[in-house]
Structure 1
């Protein structure tokens, strides 16, 4: 018998309710995770507001939000002995895992496009009023389904750093991999929140010659510089989009950027970002997940300048393994601990979401 708390989510606009639940046992192939940290990601905020409806992905209510999490093995189901890299698992092993699970057998999975798996399930979608109850990160436990990918966390990587790996870090790593960003290229990152800061650091690690961060919050821009940004564009100082485009052009010797990464999450950033791209530039669209929002742009800009836009939702599971390697290599070279500096107890989750909404914290973490 496993007993614990969940922060039950009954729907947009309603406060979270802390509820005690009991799970009799876990099934074969499953892993019961003792959650040690669960960050408040932008998609959690959108779901809380109702601008991102989980039912569009097959989600049901009530549920438990939270997907960017990390924890330790509390119990192993029959047949589970090692992680996805072949390392042994036991109770107490610190692990990270993608927040979604796929079948690994269908055409999409076998073609290396697991996020297109028709059998994909993920945290935050299942009902929290029936077993297994622990269906999201905002609780004492999370039940990792059978067949899930799971990786042991390197000893040098703290839970504080590892908690952002299974969503924000892996997402931007996958995005930059998708467009083959490489040595000597210029990268613009629109937005200096957690994803943007990770994008700055990863772009530099992948050999970017110049990284330009764009944001309107000075503290975030200053932190972007600590993460490796070579130039900062403050939209509170350069208020007109066309002037920001001119600034990027000036910083790129008039050529424009090779890669622009959008992690603002607002459609208005897209047209501006496209104009910041140079010939054969690649636009990585990650932030806009609110269905129905639109933006106008001139398609001839794609044709005459040979530009490409790549939409990035989730990531291939193996990217998480590389994200953990990145953290192991850079944990003492970058101020990564600042990405999860604000922590809240599970019972204070409503306060935490209010703080996150007001952008008081770069990224808040729920620590059960």
Structure 2
């Protein structure tokens, strides 16, 4: 029998505890849609920022979480194939992209789903309006018709598959937008959160000559070194942005880096990133610096012929490549080193606070761990 309600961890007030409560599910499934039992959700820095109210325009209440994997429990008409044409039935394990309209300029002319004018980001969905829940901090979630989905390989752990939905696909798209990595190049990774750690691994896997990872705290930088960083720079020990720029200049014999990726989103990140670039270098902006961002020295951009490249999340093609990347390098990188031990929905509030405090690298939620306790 298809569930009509779900227990979910609901954000009703910024910086307040998440509330475990019953949320309705769509009574009918439109063509192309699906209902999924969430088997694992991994939290992202964006979830912590949403909880903190960094994006105050977000409507409340809502169910956070945009990296999840789950098993199909119900399908609308014409939803029985994934993006690669593989069959989907009850019990099939899926990951999926944000929904897109398929008819706007970004979707049709540019053929870039990430630029869809009506992209279904989770923070746009209120929990008190249909379809109520498209997030991951819930037992069941709704997959909209325009969300391209992929069948998850049998051998892939749920946690890895969930993380592919944002952290991994965002990094792969950023590297693709940068045009790849030359074997002799120096790559600077700004940020040692999940994106920065995956970026460090990808820079090493694609043959960078030197990888420099900047961030904190110490436990994250230790993982960065395990993932291939030749040098790590602690923002706790080197708190002055100009000193960090000087260190990169010294490490590159005053030439600067060929590639600098902003996976940090701090107010000084883009200024630092441009100054760390060498002549004809590329600074790829992925992080959201916020309203207090330091000005970018455009004279340096012009004088060194630096390319500043924006990169936004990822689409289903990036998601597919993410699943294959995680599988291909499973013996080279200990992906599990990024993840905390799973907790149930009742632990979601503590998990998101741990992400905000950076005491967790990547928190993991398994709604089934306290299913009986919550559903009673």
Shared fold (TM-score greater than 0.5)?
Answer: yes
Distance 1:114 1:289 in 2: 23
C-alpha separation between the residues in 2 aligned to 1:283 and 1:302? 10
What CA distance in whole angstroms lies between the structure 1 residues aligned with 2:130 and 2:302?
52
Q: Are the equivalent residues in 1 in contact too, given 2:268–2:289 (CA < 8 A)?
A: no
C-alpha distance in 1 between matches for 2:216 and 2:115: 35
Q: Is the contact between residue 255 and residue 279 of structure 2 (CA under 8 Å) also seen in structure 1?
A: yes
Counterpart in the other structure of 2:374: none
1:259 pairs with 2:259: yes
SS in 1 for 2:288: coil
Q: Pick from 43, 48, 52: which aligns with 1:49?
A: 52
RMSD value, Cα: 1.8
Unmatched runs of 5 consecutive residues or more in structure 2? 368-376
Show CA shifts across 1:93-137 (max 9, x none). Answer: 111111x21122332112122222223222232221244322211
Match for residue 312 of structure 1? 311
1:342 is paired with a residue whose SS is: coil
Question: Distance between the aligned counterparts of 2:236 and 2:19, measured in 1?
Answer: 38
Asked if residue 284 in structure 1 is aligned to residue 303 in structure 2, the reply is no
TM-score, structure 1 normalization: 0.93
> Is 1:170–1:319's contact at 8 Å kept on the other side of the alignment?
yes
Structure 1 unaligned blocks of 5 or more: none
Deviation at 1:148, TM superposition (A): 1.7
1:172 aligns with 2:175: no
Indicate whether 1:8 and 2:10 are aligned: yes
Q: Deviations over 1:154-202 (max 9, x none)?
A: 2232111111101011111111111112222211001111110000111
| Alignment partner of 2:20 out of 18, 34, 40 | 18
1:322 aligned residue? 321
Supply the distance in 2 between the matched residues of 1:142 and 1:54 (Cα, whole angstroms). 23
When normalised by structure 2's length, the TM-score is: 0.91
Match of 1:269 in 2: 269
Q: Report deviation, 1:261.
A: 0.9
What is the alpha-carbon distance in structure 1 between the residues aligned to residue 23 and residue 270 of structure 2? Answer: 44
Q: Is the 8 A contact 1:43 1:52 kept in 2?
A: no
Q: How much has 1:48 moved relative to structure 2?
A: 0.9
Q: Deviations over 1:37-94 (max 9, x none)?
A: 1222111111111112353xxxx32221111111121211111221101111111111
1:14-36: CA deviation from partner (whole Å, max 9, x where unpaired):
32211123433422211111111
Quote the Cα distance in structure 1 between the aligned partners of 2:169 and 2:132: 27
Aligned length: 362
Shift of 1:352: 1.5
Whether the 8 Å CA contact 1:125–1:135 is kept in 2: the answer is no
In structure 2, the CA distance between the partners of 1:125 and 1:282, relative to structure 1 (3 Å rule), is same
Moved more, 139-148 or 292-301: 292-301
| Residues 154 and 328 in structure 1, CA contact (< 8 A), matched pair in contact too | no
Q: Which is further off, 139-148 or 111-120? A: 111-120
